[in-house]
Chains A and B, each alone.
Chain A
Amino acid sequence: MNRWQVFINGIMKENPVLVLLIGLCPTLATSSSANDGFGMGVAATFVLIASNILISAVRKWTPDQIRIPIFIIIISTFVTIVDYTMHAADPVLYANLGVFVPLIVVNCIILGRAEAYAYKNDVLSSTLDGIGMGLGFTLTITVLGAIREIIGNGTVTILNYELINLGEGFKPALVFIMPPGAFLVMGLLIATNRLLIRKRG
């Protein structure tokens, strides 16, 4: 696979959430608003890219038997950095994401890519893989969040800025920002992505 394909791969054909079905927990849990979803996506993407780079850079010095603990130490260090940085920079987002910020460390996407790609490939490819997968993840979770938020709350907010507000007259279907809504929209998104891939051939 050439470098460009590695990058594009993560967005559609091997979209971590919609196709590989990993990283589900934070996707469903933090997508009750586009803002929270986007924040989670960015945080996880940062950890993914940083871990991919570091793990790829030290792969020649990493003994095979202890590679999993080393991955875990590296990933959890970046997660803790993101944890404290987010707490300082955006306390409201941090409070909304709650326990899911430290849970980035068990996000299957990050550990999975470390094992499947970064450990076996050079730094540049690993970086692109991280960016691609991260982009796919962030895009999915933000779209999911936007859909749930607009139907369930009548607004779409991103980066703490209200993009759309359907006003007082719109009576939202609250179930969409609640757990059942998450599962429902997710199922439909998977089906939609599948149709789109099939159409593109």
Chain B
Amino acid sequence: MLDIIKNSLKMGMVLLVICVIAAAALAQVYSVTSVIIKKNDEEAEKKKRQVVLPQAARFEEKDIEGRKYIIGYDAEDKMIGGIFKAAPKGYGGPINITAGVAPDNSIAAVVITKLDQTETPGLGTNITKPKFLDQFKGKKGSELKLKKDSGTIDAITAATISSRAVANGVRNGWEQYTKDAGEKR
């Protein structure tokens, strides 16, 4: 009887020691890598803002009734555009869109990186390509719809759901932006 207890205790101790060593190792790796991961996310965000408003020298975040925007200022501190984010539901999940709006309220540029979407590879993932996204430049309002929906944007072949999600996401975000910008600016 005492033997069984001794044996169980021994096994329990071995397990405990291994668990503690493992947990400590993991905590270490976690603290190192989470710093790098956070930095990567910040770098990616900075890059997106730069792509969408290339002439901006600095960015300032603005919050209007819970909706977040980013205003871009050039070297002379003049406002040269704003950025809004949209996350419409695509085919495989939400698509994170970053869109810049020029002072004349037309779309300056739209950027979607590979990490911003989980669409079908080879089909929906083409929404990250300039060939699709460049179509949004300079457009406003109801132009920001697919040609199938009486707009001006060509959908990607066999990826209508993904394309429509992006077009509608950009248009809805644009409408909200111009409404907020008109009142507060």
Contacts and interface: CB of A to CB of B under 8 A. Distances in A.
Nearest to A87: B37
A84 B34 contact: yes
Contact of B18 (A33, A70, A80, A172): A70
B57 interface: no
Contacts of B121: 32-33, 153, 177
Nearest to A95: B115
Interface residues of B, number: 24
Interface stretch (A2-10, A58-66, A110-118, A184-192): A58-66
A110 to B, nearest CB: 16
Interface string A75-106: 01100110011011101100100000000000
A152 interface: yes
Contacts, number: 62
Contact of A95 (B18, B36, B114): B114
A63 B11 contact: yes
B66 interface: no
Nearest to B19: A73
A74 interface: yes
Contacts of A74: 18, 22
Chain A CB within 10 Å, residue with most, of B14, B22, B114, B122: B122
Nearest to B22: A77
B81 to A, nearest CB: 27
Chain B CB within 10 Å, residue with most, of A32, A65, A73, A74: A73
User: Chain A interface mostly helix, strand, loop or mixed?
Assistant: helix
Contacts of B118: 95
Contact of B29 (A65, A80, A89): A80
A66 B15 contact: yes
B123 interface: yes
Contact of A81 (B15, B25, B36): B25
A61 B122 contact: no
A66 B122 CA distance: 47
Interface residues of A, number: 28
Contacts of A32: 121
A88 B33 contact: yes
A66 B11 contact: yes
Given A33-B121, A77-B22, A80-B26, A69 B14 contact: no
Given A70-B18, A92-B115, 9 more contacts: A66-B11, A73-B22, A76-B22, A81-B29, A85-B29, A87-B37, A89-B36, A172-B122, A174-B123
Interface of A: 32-33, 61-63, 65-66, 69-70, 73-74, 76-77, 80-81, 84-85, 87-89, 91-92, 95, 152-153, 172, 174, 177
25 contacts: A62-B14, A63-B10, A63-B14, A65-B11, A66-B11, A66-B15, A69-B15, A73-B19, A77-B25, A77-B26, A80-B29, A84-B29, A84-B37, A85-B29, A85-B33, A88-B33, A88-B36, A88-B37, A89-B36, A91-B40, A91-B44, A95-B114, A95-B118, A153-B122, A174-B158
Interface of B: 10-11, 14-15, 18-19, 22, 25-26, 29-30, 33-34, 36-37, 40, 44, 114-115, 118, 121-123, 158
